[in-house]
Amino acid sequence: MKFPLTPMEFARRARRLYSDREAVIDGELRLTYGQFFERCDRWSSALQKFGIKHGDRVAYIAPNTHKQLESFYAVPQIGAVVVPVNYRLTAQDFAYIISHSGSRIVCVHSDYLDAVDSVREQLTGVEHFIALEGSKDGWSDYEEILAAADHQFEHVTIDEDDLISINYTSGTTAQPKGVMITHRNAYLNIVGTLCHHNMTPKDRYLWTLPMFHANGWTFVWIVTACGGTHICLRRVEPQMIFQLIAQENVSMFCAAPTVLISIANAPQEFRRDVKSGVHLFTAGAPPAAATIERIEKELGWKLTQLYGLTETSPFITICEELPEHEQLSQQQRAIIKARQGVELMTSGELLVVDDDGNEVPHDGESLGEIVVRGNVVMKGYFNDPEATEKAFRGGWFHSGDAAVVHSDGYVEIRDRFKDVIISGGENISSVEVEGVLLRHPAILEVAIVGMPHKKWGERPHAFVVLRDGETTTEEKVKEFARSHLAHFKAPEWVSFVEDLPKTATGKIQKYILRGGRSAISKQ
């Protein structure tokens, strides 16, 4: 008899094996797996009483709380589709996503009730507004509904090709697109991740990564699959990260490169009780080798980079360590760890191709676009056949990422194609220049963008955030770059800023920096 591949199968197993084990920590609240799943079942029952059926959408706007985690079980186990929304978006973005997804119920944390109320008249398809925390006129209380609900719900047949979630992209250049992830997509991403990184019931996972982002890179289900403990973190602050790692004996977490930078540069007093041996995954943007080196050398942690997109569930590659890497210096290993690596066992096929669709030579120099096909690639964009067709042209999903392939088969992203700087006919990787400048002792963060230049067409402009108490000059930064790079790659201009604009997942929003170029570019 064939059973569908679904993360709900991991939940079934966890109920039987880990019922009395600690499942979730959220501040003072501690839940066993038995208690956690009873809450999920009660909410499933409540949703069915509200009329939610197979294929219906339920939207959530919340930080990393146990109630947000419950959504990834209570909603899909009745065949419905969870729509986790980026809580850092605007009220108008909320309105667009909720309406576009056709969500019939919206569940919102207290911090965002006012924002949703401000656009409520636009949400004509929403039948129930649920306050996850806090209370407000016109909102039903999640806990009151849960307490009144029966833990028995009607079980439905789930097909592995059914949607488990719709995850909206950031929409930096257009309206957000709804990425349709199936139960099969998520299941195989989970299995693939666990093939490359063993986790056990001893693991205690800290939620530094937003759960809304690609379903927390599927760790909302991975941690449960292995019987580990979810430790919720509502705000990503270095002091709290170090505190919880020490207090709760954290063994693993995930973080975007900008979060890694904040950890690597946290004040010494935060690290007083730091434990070694913590394993962390990073993805979302190429990290600098210098940041990886500091994390591993100074903290004694082990960092692994993965690569993927929301559209690929999300992981496609992992920078898998090889025995021969052990013979390298720490700096050389960090350079390799900054690459995106090789295909996961279950992700499918990845190629780097030129403009004609031919695979580029594995020489570490020939630039092409990453294209993928296989088990983790999305079903398509929700209600957007035109964008879906464009993304899947030629039978491959086109990532928009510019990369090279090294002789060992390891892929290395050099940029988003839109971020490649073309100067005098030469391609300049902003990622490469950023990686060099992050080795400057005074620089905390940096973003490189192309600015118009009368002679060369474009030249690199560096936006630099300095470390606390450090100073340097524009000319010294340029000299440092020229001493480590071909001179044409060095920044033409340097602007010192207090911070860099970022998305909720830590990606630097370079389009905002480019938007001010008329005011800051020099000819």
Backbone angles phi, psi at 508, to 5 degrees: -75, 130
Structure tokens at 368: 């092409």
Query: Running DSSP on this structure, what letter comes out for residue 359?
Result: B
CB contact at 8 A, 246 and 275 = yes
CB contact at 8 A, 282 and 291 = no
CB contact at 8 A, 232 and 259 = no
pLDDT in tens, the chain (523 residues): 789 999 999 999 999 999 999 999 999 999 999 999 999 999 999 999 999 999 999 999 999 999 999 999 999 999 999 999 999 888 999 999 999 999 999 999 999 999 999 999 999 999 999 999 988 999 999 999 999 999 999 999 999 999 999 999 875 556 889 999 999 999 999 999 999 999 999 999 999 999 999 999 999 999 999 999 999 999 999 999 999 999 999 999 999 888 888 898 899 899 888 889 999 999 987 788 888 999 999 999 999 999 999 999 999 999 999 999 989 998 899 999 999 999 999 999 999 999 999 999 999 999 999 999 999 999 999 999 999 999 999 999 999 999 999 999 999 998 888 888 988 777 788 888 999 999 999 999 999 999 998 888 889 999 999 999 999 999 999 999 999 988 889 999 999 999 999 876 677 888 889 875 433 333 3
Residue 20: exposed, middle, or buried by beta-carbon count in 10 A (0-12, 13-18, 19+)? exposed
Task: Quote the CATH superfamily of domain 420-520.
Answer: ANL, C-terminal domain (3.30.300.30)
Q: Residue 516: what pLDDT?
A: 56
CB contact at 8 A, 17 and 240 = no
Do the domains 34-175 and 236-416 sit in the same CATH topology, yes or no? yes
C-alpha to C-alpha distance for 62 and 234, rounded to whole angstroms: 9
CA dihedral defined by 203, 208, 212, 215, rounded to 10 degrees? -30
Rg for the chain (alpha carbons), in Å?
A: 23
Q: Where are the chain's structural domains? A: 34-175, 236-416, 420-520
Report CA torsion sign: 68, 502, 332, 269.
negative
User: Does residue 32 sit in helix, strand or coil?
Assistant: strand
- Is the whole-model pTM more than 0.85? yes
- Which residues lie across from 207 on neighbouring strands? 232
CA dihedral defined by 168, 86, 98, 137, rounded to 10 degrees? 170
- Closest to 20 in 3D by CA, of 237, 182, 229, 241: 229
CATH 3.40.50.980 for domain 34-175: yes
Name the fold adopted by 236-416: Rossmann fold (3.40.50)
- Closest to 431 in 3D by CA, of 307, 302, 250, 279: 307
| Single-letter code of the amino acid located at 478 | K
Omega of the bond prior to 460 within 30 degrees of 0, cis? Answer: no
CB contact at 8 A, 422 and 457 = yes
CB contact at 8 A, 153 and 75 = no
